[in-house]
Amino acid sequence: MTLLRDADLAAAFDHAARTYDTLVAANPGYHAHLRRSARRLGLPDGGRGMRVLDLGCGTGASTAALAAVLPGAEITAVDASAGMLEKAAAKSWPDNVTFVHAPAERLAERGVGGPFDAVFAAYLFRNAADPDGVLATVRDLLAPHGRLAVHEYTLSGRPAHRAVWTAVCGGIVLPVATALGDGKLYRHLWRSVVEFDTADEFAARVRSAGFDRVRVLPLPGWQTGITHTVVARRTVLDAAGDR
């Protein structure tokens, strides 16, 4: 199976938007893990007076996590799928949350510009055709020393964790998704994890993109070794080339 990319992936998410929230609600710890990753941005004072970009917001689960953890921040939530974004925008939100229909690769065209104090990206990078290009865009959007938190299915590299991921997808997720007519998307999502970076490989990718203080932080429950938060800070060089 070839992984879905760009317009094909957005269309698959459009179709799945109607049942997406129901499926993720069956994932133990899904929303709590997103809030934990949002807290790992480490923004002070509830984000008061700060700008935060939620990159790849889907139906708004990551946006809700940010709004709960950072009630004082101005949150801009973007997604490439019109169907997912429609579901997100239809929910009740505080005035500090704004939604924009935009692929991560074309933010400037849709009026999304920096500087942002932080960028949060959940389940995004393994679905990007050019993850290094998206990281470069994120770096350019961040203020000096701005913070990045990536909440992602990035396997540890241990065979046992890969086996758990495949067993959960094959035994639970794929049969349900197929019955709902979204098997193609969820087969992509399974394979996108298996074929993407391990957590340490992704951390190295982030460092290479111009970030420092990169850390890989685990998440608990059945997703131990499967889902991680990768946090980092935009590197800023002085005139001498030092950080």
> Among 2-6, 130-134, 161-165, where is mean pLDDT lowest?
2-6
Question: Please, which residues bridge with residue 216 across strands?
Answer: 230
Q: Is the pLDDT of residue 14 over 50?
A: yes
Sheet of 227-234: strands edge to edge? 97-101, 74-79, 51-55, 116-122, 142-153, 227-234, 211-218
Question: Please, which residues bridge with residue 78 across strands?
Answer: 55, 100
CA distance 57 to 129: 17
Confidence of residue 240 (pLDDT cuts 50, 70, 90): very low
Q: What is the DSSP string of 141-179?
A: HEEEEEEEEEEEE---S-HHHHHHHHHHIIIIIHHHHHH
pLDDT tens readout for residues 143-197: 999 999 999 999 999 999 999 999 999 999 999 999 999 999 999 999 999 999 9
Task: Say what the pLDDT of residue 125 is.
Answer: 97
Q: Is 202 helix (H, G, I), strand (E, B) or coil?
A: helix
Q: Is the pLDDT of residue 243 over 80?
A: no
pLDDT tens readout for residues 56-111: 999 999 999 999 999 999 999 999 999 999 999 999 999 999 999 999 999 999 99
Task: Say what the pLDDT of residue 158 is.
Answer: 97
Task: Say what the pLDDT of residue 113 is.
Answer: 95
Question: Please, which residues bridge with residue 53 across strands?
Answer: 76, 119
pTM of the model: 0.95
Task: Say what the pLDDT of residue 45 is.
Answer: 97
Task: Say what the pLDDT of residue 188 is.
Answer: 95
Q: Is 124 helix (H, G, I), strand (E, B) or coil?
A: coil
Structure-token pair, residue 136: 């470069």
Q: Which residues contact 213 (CB under 8 A, 6 or more apart)?
A: 231, 232, 233
Bond into 115 cis (ω within 30): yes
Helical packing angle, 199-208 and 131-141, nearest 10°: 50
Confidence of residue 34 (pLDDT cuts 50, 70, 90): very high
| CB 137 within 8 Å of CB 207 | no
